[in-house]
Amino acid sequence: MASGSDPTLEDLFTRANKVGNRRYHKLTQQDFEDYRRFDYWRYIHGDSECGTTPDSQAWVRDNSEHHCPICGERFSRSNGRSIDHKLPRAQYPWLALDFSNLWVICYQCNQEKAEMHWYEYEHYMFTRHPNRYQDVVFARPRHLLKQLGQK
């Protein structure tokens, strides 16, 4: 792996390869380069325009409405759009590169979801915010979970 200047990224890829060996997914150099490129997409706090590159801003625009799909609040300056990994990077690092694993939700919902596994999150929403539960089920990353043998 190439990066000497980015320990976090290096860690992530080391971990991904370990997990990947167990799950039969081995990261390639292309994955690494894609990741470097798209890592800049990670969320910018409190800005109504999420994304740091024109590419990512365009993606966010194309993949969000005016309201957060979880809480239904309108995106605002103080609670802006953020890109969330449905299946968290900490558990599925290789899915950090998979656009079908990304969605745009508000900053507060992202903070609340944190590093929960998807089903843990559904359970959390069912118990804490039952009125939002159906929307979360609707957004379930079914094909990814199926690929992982978890559905």
- What residues make contact with Zn ion under the rule CB under 5 A? 68, 70-71, 106, 109
Q: Whose Cβ is closer to Zn ion: residue 83's or residue 109's? A: 109
- State the alpha helices, DSSP H only, in the chain: 7-23, 29-39, 54-62, 107-113, 118-128, 133-138, 142-147
Burial of 83 (0-12, 13-18, 19+ CB in 10 A): buried
18 DSSP assignment? H
Q: Whose Cβ is closer to Zn ion: residue 87's or residue 109's? A: 109
Q: Whose Cβ is closer to Zn ion: residue 18's or residue 61's? A: 61
120 DSSP assignment? H
| Shortest Å, Cβ 106 to Zn ion | 3
Tokens of 86: 């449905």
Q: Whose Cβ is closer to Zn ion: residue 27's or residue 68's? A: 68
- Kindly list the distances between the CA atom of residue 39 and the CA atoms of 6, 31, 127, 131, in Å, as whole numbers in the listed order: 12, 12, 33, 33
